[in-house]
Amino acid sequence: MQRKDLFDLSDRVIVVTGGLGQIGRQFALEFIDRGAKVAILNRRIPDRAALAEKFPLDSGRVEFFAADITKKESVKAALAGIVEKWGVPHVLVNNAGIDTQPSAPPEVSGPFEDFPEEVWREVLEVNMTGTFICCQVIGGAMAKEGRGSIVNVGSIYGMLSPVQDIYAYKEKKTGKPFIKPVAYCASKSGLYNFTRYLATYWGRKGVRVNILTPSGVWRETQDAEFQANYCARMPIGRMAMEDEYNGAIVFLASDASKYMTGSNLVVDGGWTAW
């Protein structure tokens, strides 16, 4: 007897928010490779020529929808387009989010006491409210179908406070301190109990809700001193490559995790093990 592939995603309809970003694109490509139909939601969609450089457009398994996830009507419109083309989604990956990189200007990376209120509101609007709206609209549609998996993307800085010493070198170089801002940490932290709330709310309606906690991803634009400081704190000794969360996202999206809900899957190179 042939055993079922627990990780099979063939013909499942998967929505990925922020699917043009670094790890969001990797999620989408992995899903496409596994035979899923992937709807990418992004605030702005580049022209087709630019998309063709990053996605297999001729596969018929990827579509792009311009959507502002902080606006319910925008998400509803995107969902209507997805349903018309492929039907109600089976999986929602809430990946879209705003972070503050070490290259950020001083006005958004200075002391907590000076952190701009408008930036606080903007980050929470995207990272928390955007996830809330996508779950309401897309998760709600899945609940009506009696099935589905939602994966919220968290962060080690949602579980733990940032190690500010990693960024101390910036003040020596520029004369101005870099403080990993509060808004990103607070917004990502909120996703953990939001995930647990929905897991209990939708548990008997067939919708599972889990959260994936990644650590930092290597980028060419990161300066060498930041990378050295960050990796010195990392038990595995390096940052993640952009495709190294794909196994975890496939697990959470597929039937391999069908008895798992309200859980936090930590894939962080050991960061939270200290």
Q: For the segment 17-40, what is each residue's pLDDT rounded down to a tens digit? A: 999 999 999 999 999 999 999 999
pLDDT for 246 equals 98
Domains and CATH numbers, the chain: 13-273 (3.40.50.720)
Q: Is the pLDDT of residue 1 over 70?
A: no
Report pLDDT digits (tens) over 174-185.
888 889 999 999
Looking at 1-5, 47-51, 110-114, 270-274, which range is the least confident one?
Answer: 1-5
Provide the b/e sequence for 166-190 (b: ≥16 CB within 10 Å).
bbebbeeeeeeebbbbbbbbbbbbb
- Among 117, 94, 107, CA closest to 249: 94
Please check whether residue 109 is in contact with residue 178, taking contact to mean a CB–CB distance below 8 angstroms. yes
pLDDT for 106 equals 79
* Mean pLDDT across 234-255: 98
* Residues whose CB falls within 8 Å of the CB of residue 135, separated by 6 or more in sequence, listed in order: 92, 94, 150, 194, 198, 209
pLDDT for 174 equals 84
Report pLDDT digits (tens) over 62-103.
999 999 999 999 999 999 999 999 999 999 999 999 987 767
Please check whether residue 7 is in contact with residue 246, taking contact to mean a CB–CB distance below 8 angstroms. no
DSSP, residue by residue, 107-159: HHHS-GGG--HHHHHHHHIIIIIIHHHHIIIIIHHHHHHT-EEEEEE--HHHH
Please check whether residue 34 is in contact with residue 22, taking contact to mean a CB–CB distance below 8 angstroms. no
pLDDT for 126 equals 97
Report pLDDT digits (tens) over 190-242.
999 999 999 999 999 999 999 999 999 999 989 999 999 999 999 999 999 99
Alpha-carbon torsion (271, 20, 73, 253), positive or negative: negative
45 vs 173, which has greater pLDDT? 45
Q: Is the pLDDT of residue 104 over 90?
A: no
pLDDT for 61 equals 97
pLDDT for 186 equals 97
Alpha-carbon torsion (138, 144, 148, 152), positive or negative: positive
Report pLDDT digits (tens) over 120-150.
999 999 999 999 999 999 999 999 999 999 9
User: What strands lie across the sheet with 91-94, from one edge to the other?
Assistant: 62-66, 37-42, 13-17, 91-94, 148-153, 207-214, 264-267
Q: Which helix (H) or strand (E) holds 61?
A: none
Q: Give the type of residue at 118.
A: E
* Mean pLDDT across 251-267: 98
